[in-house]
Structure 1
Amino acid sequence: MKVLWLTSKDPLVNHSSGGGWFSSLCQSLRALNEYEFYFCFPGKRDEESDNTFIFKSRQKNSSKINKEVVKRFEKLLEVICPDVIHVWGTENTFSFALVKAAKKLGYVNKIVVHIQGFCFACAEQYEYGLPFNVIHGVLPRDLYLGNVRSTKKQFEKRGRYEKELLLNVSHVFGRTTWDYAYCKAINPNLNYHYCGELLRDSFYHKEWAYKKCNPRSVFISSASYPLKGLHYCVLAFAEVVKQYPDAKLLVGGISVVKSVGGFKERIKLSRYGLYIKRLIRKYNLTQNIVFLGPLNEKQICSQYLQSNVYLLSSSLENSSNSLGEAMTLGVPTIASYVGGNPDFIRHGENGYLYPFSDFRLLAFYIIKIFEMKEEAERLSVSSRKSSFERYEKEKILCEIIKVYGELAHK
């Protein structure tokens, strides 16, 4: 069976920026020896080696359809003649270009789209809770990469193609009540197939324990843009330190406030980043909020285990792998009540949920877990149990294989 994967990056590489679960899934499927895999993704230059096709294109993050890319996909489909086409994500117009080509050549019924998130939904939430001057303000970095308002408009443009993509396919993989509802709202005739995602290997073999963590520490794995909700986390932590002055908020990923060094470094600061810096200074949190920078798989696993609390503060998530990793390790978890998060957390049983903008309630739950101390291991045990059921490797492989078989015979 010939299977074509369309991805945003090389699925065979365990990228330092994340995606180790993706390469793990790919290797597991290839090991079955029942499939001949082909991979296509955008890159800096045109390349072709073995069964891998890299298209030089800015299409990955563009908000416009490149007709030349559609023609190239047509040629690729004619060469491969795939039995199954697995499109990973609707968020970029590269995916829609392939769907257009497949429809023209009669392959559209061979497509299954793996739902990751929705650009149109991100656009609706992107500016939430931000003041007017932050939404519309521009620093030198924003002239090149875009400010909050222009980024929202890019999401809106890509979202229009995203909706059209879903109207032109028949099969999707999803895994939350939220993505099911949104898929059906766009195209009621879609065949929705439940399919979980694997985690990176490290997270199946470690376990959190209170006695080994750093008390009164909260970890956020990523917060580099407004959807991650760092502005509300700062407000929440201003409440937390009133009771626990030594509390730490540790933020992984690209630092939104980085502006040290020479001129070249300072101009990388976005208007949103400047807003966060000013909030931190306003509430005297410079010693409480620490930006860790990008972390590899080993480092992030270690950071989870050292933390007293894991926090997912996004204004929108579908099925956060970071949330899954934290819960599988058993880290006491708090998440905003948005998107697919309620499918993961049973409030008060294996974690806590709070309304995204309610920073005082968020502070209350952070303090609650701090004060549970060893009793937080009750949350930990329940969290691990629910997560191991969700991320069972063999079950996920069977779900994918079943759908591949159905599509191959269409």
Structure 2
Amino acid sequence: MKVLWLTHTASGASKALNVDDPGRGWIGSLEAHVKKIANVDLAIAFFNNQPEFKFALDNVTYYPIPFKYTSLRGKIVQRLFSNLYDSNVEALKKVIADFQPDVIHLFGTESGIGEVVKFTKIPVVVHLQGLVNPYLYSWLPKGVSQRDIWKHSSLRAVLLRRGTYFEYKLFQKRAVREQEMIRYAKYYFGRTEWDRNFIKLHQPECVYIHCEEVLRPVFYRSAWTAPQKGLFKMVTIINPQIYKGIEIILETASILKRISGLAFQWSVIGLAPDNEIVKLIEGITRKKFSDNHVSFKGSKVEDALLEEISTANVFVHPSHIDNSPNSICEAMLLGMPVIAGYVGGIPSLISDKVNGILYNSNDPYDLAGKIINLQEQPALLEKLGSEARKVGMKRHDVETIVSTVFATYQSMIENETPVSRDFIKQV
């Protein structure tokens, strides 16, 4: 069985190519298991401006796909017109012709790596990740406009046509591209009621297979223990998109400082203190993160990330829209208590007051109140964490996930018959 993956990331070749791609380690974790299946010949195509057409590493064939705009002139055109740069259908066609896969596994609808779907009759399964159209709808936080973003963007961002204001324009084009991909795909891996509803809305006759994700091994091996009494610590992992709720962190921290008197520290991983979006939010709100006990830690490798998370009392996920964020899943797998907004697919991950806490994602007062409530109940924190770990260990069971993936490949190849629950159980 020849299987071609189309991904955002170099996955297992990341180290060899010196690519730092935080947040997508779960794809590499799945690869580590799939490539060991005896009758699977795996290849992975990904955007990367490497000169090689392909190379082999540890029984996997890798195809680096150059971005659309690589020349100086091309980059200038891309910036001026906010064109999508992650696109190269002709190169992807050559990969398919060279590898001749039996099945194609597309990871996500956010990237142009999936544009080739409409040009092939090889069966494709789309592994749903984020969903661009709903994300676009929830792009702007409450009370913030594109005009506000433009007004408070740095001169550098304006001159280089980059940053949040111009990212919105790119996202609009990605949303159109996503709809085009969905038109041509029949099979889907999903994990939440939210992503299932979205796909069934667009493709009522599609084959939807519930398939969880294999997380990074370190989170299976480790377990959270409640910190000793003292400074109450919160931790968040966030990307530099405005819909991820960075302004809620600042507003909530400000409320906690001004009203509660709680001695706390909020660590934000994934952003450096000089990140463009940090300065943007401070300009819009006229508040400083550093004045409100919020510190930015930048990106961290696995061990450092685990150490930072493990010292916190609670994991806070402030995003205004998300499907099944791996940051939440990894925190739950560790056995950490999690507070997250009641948005997107998150209610499929967290049962409120059972294995985590949900709050109104646009209400910093609600979030602040629930943080105080948890801080006052250390026994509840430990109970939520314990229940979260039970759910996480079951949800991210490696054998179940790999069996589901392989069973789906087989079903797609064998006359493209729908994958039933009974079929999956038998594998």
Superposition TM-score, scaled by structure 2 size: 0.85
2:67 counterpart of 1:57: yes
Q: Deviations over 1:165-186 (max 9, x none)?
A: 1111111111101110111111
Q: What is aligned with 2:108?
A: 89
Q: Secondary structure at the match of 1:45?
A: coil
1:287–1:163 Cα change, 3 Å: closer
Q: 1:135 aligns with which of 140, 145, 149?
A: 149
The letter for the 2-side match of 1:17 is P
Q: Secondary structure at the match of 2:39?
A: coil
Distance in 2, matches of 1:375 and 1:72, equals 54
Instruction: Report if the CA contact (8 A) 1:115-1:173 is conserved.
Output: yes
How many residue pairs align between the two structures? 391
Please state how far the C-alpha of 1:333 moved relative to its aligned partner: 0.8
Distance in 1, matches of 2:102 and 2:398, equals 24
Distance in 1, matches of 2:286 and 2:178, equals 40
Distance in 2, matches of 1:328 and 1:280, equals 35
Q: What is aligned with 2:129?
A: 116
Please state how far the C-alpha of 1:64 moved relative to its aligned partner: 4.6
Gaps of 5+ in 1: 259-268
Q: What is aligned with 2:421?
A: none
Q: What is aligned with 1:99?
A: 117
Distance in 2, matches of 1:284 and 1:174, equals 36
1:385-396 counterparts in 2 under 5 A? Answer: 385-396=390-401
Q: What is aligned with 2:181?
A: 165
Q: What is aligned with 2:241?
A: 225
Q: What is aligned with 1:78?
A: 97
1:401–1:153 Cα change, 3 Å: same
Q: What is aligned with 2:7?
A: 7
Instruction: Report if the CA contact (8 A) 2:86-2:111 is conserved.
Output: no
Instruction: Report if the CA contact (8 A) 2:282-2:288 is conserved.
Output: no
The letter for the 2-side match of 1:351 is G
Q: 1:153 aligns with which of 149, 169, 178?
A: 169
Q: 2:251 aligns with which of 214, 235, 246?
A: 235
Distance in 2, matches of 1:40 and 1:363, equals 44
Q: Which has the higher contact order (CA 8 A, sep 6+)?
A: 1
2:270 counterpart of 1:253: yes
1:321–1:284 Cα change, 3 Å: closer
Q: Deviations over 1:288-330 (max 9, x none)?
A: 1111111111111112211011000001110110000111111
Please state how far the C-alpha of 1:63 moved relative to its aligned partner: 4.9
Please state how far the C-alpha of 1:206 moved relative to its aligned partner: 1.6
Distance in 1, matches of 2:324 and 2:214, equals 12
Please state how far the C-alpha of 1:194 moved relative to its aligned partner: 0.8
Q: Deviations over 1:230-282 (max 9, x none)?
A: 10121111222232342111111122x41xxxxxxxxxx53x43243347863
Q: Deviations over 1:31-78 (max 9, x none)?
A: 1222001111111233221322112114799855998x3233333222
Stretch deviating more after TM superposition (365-374 or 394-403):
365-374
Distance in 2, matches of 1:139 and 1:162, equals 30
Distance in 1, matches of 2:10 and 2:285, equals 38
Identity %: 27
Q: Secondary structure at the match of 2:375?
A: helix
Instruction: Report if the CA contact (8 A) 1:227-1:316 is conserved.
Output: yes
The letter for the 1-side match of 2:117 is V
Distance in 1, matches of 2:197 and 2:140, equals 23
Please state how far the C-alpha of 1:214 moved relative to its aligned partner: 6.2
1:267-282 counterparts in 2 under 5 A? Answer: 270=276, 272-278=277-283, 282=287
Q: What is aligned with 2:389?
A: 384
Q: Secondary structure at the match of 2:315?
A: strand
Distance in 1, matches of 2:99 and 2:280, equals 50
The letter for the 1-side match of 2:182 is L
Q: What is aligned with 1:364?
A: 369
Distance in 2, matches of 1:391 and 1:403, equals 18
1:65–1:112 Cα change, 3 Å: farther
Distance in 1, matches of 2:218 and 2:11, equals 18
Instruction: Report if the CA contact (8 A) 1:16-1:296 is conserved.
Output: no
1:307-346 counterparts in 2 under 5 A? Answer: 307-346=312-351
Q: Secondary structure at the match of 1:219?
A: strand
Distance in 1, matches of 2:86 and 2:256, equals 49
Q: Which runs of 4+ in 1 moved over 6 A?
A: 59-62
Q: Secondary structure at the match of 2:185?
A: coil
Instruction: Report if the CA contact (8 A) 2:47-2:86 is conserved.
Output: no
Q: What is aligned with 2:208?
A: 192
Please state how far the C-alpha of 1:87 moved relative to its aligned partner: 0.7
Stretch deviating more after TM superposition (382-391 or 5-14):
5-14
Please state how far the C-alpha of 1:9 moved relative to its aligned partner: 1.7
2:45 counterpart of 1:40: yes
Superposition CA RMSD, Å: 2.4
Superposition TM-score, scaled by structure 1 size: 0.89
Gaps of 5+ in 2: 71-77, 416-427
